[in-house]
Structure 1
Amino acid sequence: MGSHAFRSPPIVKAQGLPYFTPANNAGGAFNPEDPNTPTLFRPLRIRDVTLKNRVIVAPMCTYSAESDPSSPAVGALTDFHVAHLGHFAVKGVGLIIIEATAVQANGRISPNDSGLWQEGTDSEQFKGLRRIVDFAHSQGAKIGIQLAHAGRKASTVSPWLASQAKKRGIKADESVGGWPSNVVGPSGGEEHIWAPGDQFWPPREISTAEVEELVQAFARSAELAVKAGVDVIEIHGAHGYLIHQFLSPVTNRRTDKYGGSFENRIRIVAEVTTAIRAVIPTGMPLLLRISGTDWLEKEAVATQTGSWDMPSSIKLAKMLPDLGVDFLDVSSGGNHKDQRIEPHSNYQIDLAGQIRREIRAANQKTLVGAVGFITEAESARNIVQGAEQEAQANEQILSGQDPKADAVLMARQFLREPEWVLTAAKTLGVKVLLPWQFARGLL
C-alpha cells in the first residue's frame, strides 16, 4: 500500500472475545486530515450508527447451515460464517449485512438457510449470530442482518445441487428437511408456482391471521438480533420473496386487507417496519431492500394485472420516513418468469439514482444504496461522490449530475476480492488504516 497507509493508533486488545486479537477498530478508515478523500471513504451516519466508509457487503446466501429439523442447531450460523463474514470485517468494510435470515422455519429458501426464529438467547441460532457480531465489532466493522421470508420460493435444495441437475431449482421434500405442504404465498395454487415445470412447489395462500403472525415474527427476530448486538436491521422486500410477492399485483391476487389496492399491497411493509421499529432502539438504523421494478412493463402479464414498477417504488419510497425506514437498498427483478432484464453496468444503479432524485425533490433525506455490477473503485467512487454534502448534492441535482446513491453494496465482487476496500483505497490514492495482522504485507 506504500504511501496509501498512515500511522495507526496504539495496539489494544479487542473487547468481547475470549481470545486475543488486536482491535482493528479503524481498519479501512480514511485519514481525516486529507481534504481530498472521496465520499466513498468518508463516514456515513445513519441515526446513531456511523459507518467508517460507504462500502457495504450485501447479503449473500451461502446455504451452509444445519438442515436437520430435529437438530437444535438447525438454521444456526456456523464457523464457516465466522470465517466467510469475518475476513470482510478484518479488511476494512464499513458494514456487513448477514445473509437472508428466515424469521420462520418455512421462510427459508432451502433447508440449509440461516434462521432466527428460535426464541431465547440460549438457542444455537442466537449464539451463532452473537459470535459473528462480536468478531465483526472486534475488527471495527458494523454488522447488520437481513430478515426475510422466501414465500413461494421456499423449500428448494441448495443451488449447487440444482446446478448439478442442470435445473434452476429442485424441490426439497421431507426427506431432506423440506416442507412441501407449508410453502406459502400471498396467493396460492399451481398458477402461482415461481417457475414452470416440477422444480418448485405450488404455494398455498397464507391466511390473514398467518400474515399477522408473520409480522410479529419479524419483530421477534429483530428483537433477538438487537440482543445479539447487531448494528442495523434490513428487511428483505426484493427478489420475488414473500414481501415482494405481496407488493406486486402479479403475485398478489388477494381480496383481504393485504391485496388489491396499492395501499393494501404495501400494508405488509408498513406493518413489518412499524413492528420492528417498536422493538429496536431509537438510534438503530432500519433498512429496506426492494426490487425497483419487476421488469414486466412490456409483458402481457403486466397488462392483465399490473406489476411492481418504478412509479410504485417511488411512491413507496416517499412513505418510508413515516414508517421509520432510514435507508432504501435498491435492487430489481426476481418475481416473475417473464421478466425482461437487459443487464449492463449501470442498470440497477440508474434505478437507485432515479429514486434518490425523487426522494430529494420531495425534500426527504432517506438514504439510498446502489447494488449490482459494481466492481471497480472508480465507478463506486462516482456513484456516491458528493452525497455527504446535501447543499452540494442539491446543486448537482439541478445540473443533472447528482450522486446516484449514498452508499454502494457489493456481494460477488467480495467473493472474488475480499480485500476490495484496501485495493480500492490504493487505486484512488486514499490513505487508510490497515488491519494489524495484514499491514506488513500491504505496506
Structure 2
Amino acid sequence: MSALFSPIQLRDLALPNRIMVAPMCQYSADDGAANDWHFTHINSLALSGAAMFCIEATHVEAIGRITPGCLGLWNDATEAALKPILASVRRRSKTAVAMQLAHAGRKGSSHTPWNGGQLIPIAEGGWQTVAPSAVPHKEGEAAPLALDAPGLARVRDAFVAAAKRADRLGIDALELHFAHGYLVHQFLSPIANKRTDQYGGSLENRMRYPLELFDAVRAVFPDHKPVGVKVSATDWVDGGWDIMQTIILALELKKRGVDWIDASSGGVSPLQKIPLAPGYQVPMAKAIKEATGLTTMAVGLITQPQQAEEIVTSGKADMVALARGMLYDPRWGWHAAAELGGHVDAPPQYWRSQPSTHKELFGATTFGAR
C-alpha cells in the first residue's frame, strides 16, 4: 500500500490520503471578497485528488492584506462571497476544505507580484501598515506603526471573528499563518521584533503574542475541528529565527493542542539566502516531528509522486502540501495515485478518463454509454 495514499486522522477530520493543496495567494479579490476567479480556482483544485484543500491566506482585517487584491474574511460581505463557492465544492467534491487565517503586518500595502510586489505609498492608494516594531521590511521603505495595546487587542479580536466566520461557512480546519515574514512571524523573529515590553526581547516574550493568538482562535473554533500552524522554520539570516527556536515554539503549541505544523521557511528579510533544491525544507519538518512528536507537513519544491511517497514512508513528515505543482498540474493527486497504486475520488462525469492501465484509480466504477 502507498504511504501517501494511506489515511490520517486530524481530530474528527478523517483524510483518505496525505496530500494537501497548500494555500496560494491569488491576489484577485474585490475589497477582500472572493469572486468568479476564486470560484473557478477553488472548484478546480478541489478535484485534484488531494484529501484537503487549503484556501489561500485569508486576511482578518483590511490593513492586514498583502495587496489590495488579497482575500479577506472581516465582514459580512467577505463572508457572503465565499458561501456559493463552498456550496459548489461540497456538491462536487469530497475534499476537506481548510482556510489559512493571516495578517501581513509590515509586508502589507504591496503591489501584486506581477506588478513588481513593492510597497504602495499611502499617497498612491496604499495604507499605513502595522508591525511589532516601527522597522520597515527593507531599507528605504516607509516604517510600519508599532502595535500598541489597543492595536494588539484589535488584531487578536479580528483573528477570533474570522475564525467564527470560517466555522459558520463550514470550513473543516484552520491553519494560522505564522510564516513568510508576515505579522505573526514578525513577532517571532528578532530581525523584525525590537520591542522592549513583554512581547519582545527574549524568546519567551517573542512567542507570547503568537501563542495568545493561537489560544484565542482555538477557544472559539469547534473542538472537533483541527487547527494547524504554518511556520517559517528559519529566516535564512544569521541572528534570526531558526529551527531550534521553531522547535521550542512547536512544543508550546503542542501543549495548547495544535494539530499540525506546516514547515516552510524565510520571508522576513530581503537578506535571506535560501538554498533552493527539491525538498529543501523537508529536513525542517523532520526535525520538528522528531523533537515534538507532532503531525508535520512538508512543503516546498515537492513535485514528483515518488518524492512525496518517500517523504511519508521514511517518516520525515506525515503529509505533503503542494502549491505551484498543483497550479501546474491540477490533477496531480490523480496522477500520483496512478503511479503509486492509490485511489482517489472523482466525479462520475470524469470516470471515463482513467487510463485503461489503471482501471481502479477511481475505485470500482463503471461507465456505460449508448
One-letter amino acid of the counterpart of residue 169, structure 1: Q
Alignment of 1:268-417 (within 5 A): 268-297=209-238, 302=239, 307-360=240-293, 366-385=294-313, 402-417=314-329
**Aligned residue in 1 for 2:44:** 87
User: Residue deviations 1:139-180, cap 9 Å, x none?
Assistant: 101101111110110101111111xxxxx514253554x21x
In the alignment, structure 2 segments of 5+ residues that lack a partner are: 356-370
Contact kept? 1:208, 1:256, Cα under 8 Å: no
Residue 42 of structure 1 aligns to a residue whose secondary structure is: coil
**Aligned residue in 2 for 1:428:** 340
Cα deviation for residue 439 of structure 1 reads 1.5
**Aligned residue in 1 for 2:83:** 130
Distance of 1:174 and 1:107 partners within structure 2: 18
Residue 171 of structure 2 aligns to a residue whose secondary structure is: coil
**Aligned residue in 2 for 1:249:** 190
Cα deviation for residue 240 of structure 1 reads 0.3
Contact kept? 1:286, 1:327, Cα under 8 Å: yes
One-letter amino acid of the counterpart of residue 94, structure 2: G
Contact kept? 1:137, 1:143, Cα under 8 Å: no
Distance of 1:135 and 1:405 partners within structure 2: 32
TM-score by length of 2: 0.92
Distance of 2:247 and 2:255 partners within structure 1: 14
Q: Indicate yes or no: 2:139 matched with 1:196.
A: yes
Q: Indicate yes or no: 2:82 matched with 1:110.
A: no
Contact kept? 2:231, 2:261, Cα under 8 Å: yes
Distance of 1:42 and 1:134 partners within structure 2: 27
Contact kept? 1:108, 1:115, Cα under 8 Å: yes
Contact kept? 1:157, 1:172, Cα under 8 Å: no
Contact kept? 2:3, 2:312, Cα under 8 Å: yes
Distance of 1:286 and 1:431 partners within structure 2: 27
Distance of 2:109 and 2:180 partners within structure 1: 16
Residue 39 of structure 1 aligns to a residue whose secondary structure is: coil
Q: Indicate yes or no: 2:134 matched with 1:222.
A: no
User: Residue deviations 1:369-407, cap 9 Å, x none?
Assistant: 00000000000011112xxxxxxxxxxxxxxxx411111
Q: Indicate yes or no: 2:49 matched with 1:49.
A: no
Distance of 1:81 and 1:424 partners within structure 2: 25
**Aligned residue in 1 for 2:360:** none
Cα deviation for residue 442 of structure 1 reads 2.6
User: Residue deviations 1:205-261, cap 9 Å, x none?
Assistant: 111221122111101100110001000011000000000000011110101121111
**Aligned residue in 2 for 1:442:** 354
One-letter amino acid of the counterpart of residue 300, structure 2: G
One-letter amino acid of the counterpart of residue 358, structure 1: A
Cα deviation for residue 416 of structure 1 reads 0.4
Distance of 1:230 and 1:432 partners within structure 2: 21
Residue 319 of structure 1 aligns to a residue whose secondary structure is: helix
Cα deviation for residue 339 of structure 1 reads 1.3
One-letter amino acid of the counterpart of residue 403, structure 1: G
User: Residue deviations 1:339-395, cap 9 Å, x none?
Assistant: 1211111320111111111113xxxxx21000000000000011112xxxxxxxxxx
RMSD (CA atoms): 1.4
Distance of 1:102 and 1:431 partners within structure 2: 35
**Aligned residue in 2 for 1:60:** 24
Report the CA distance shift for 1:185/1:293 in structure 2 as closer, same or farther (over 3 A).
same
Distance of 1:102 and 1:174 partners within structure 2: 23
User: Residue deviations 1:100-143, cap 9 Å, x none?
Assistant: 1111110000111111111xxxx221112222322232210110
In the alignment, structure 1 segments of 5+ residues that lack a partner are: 1-35, 67-73, 163-167, 361-365, 386-401
One-letter amino acid of the counterpart of residue 90, structure 2: H
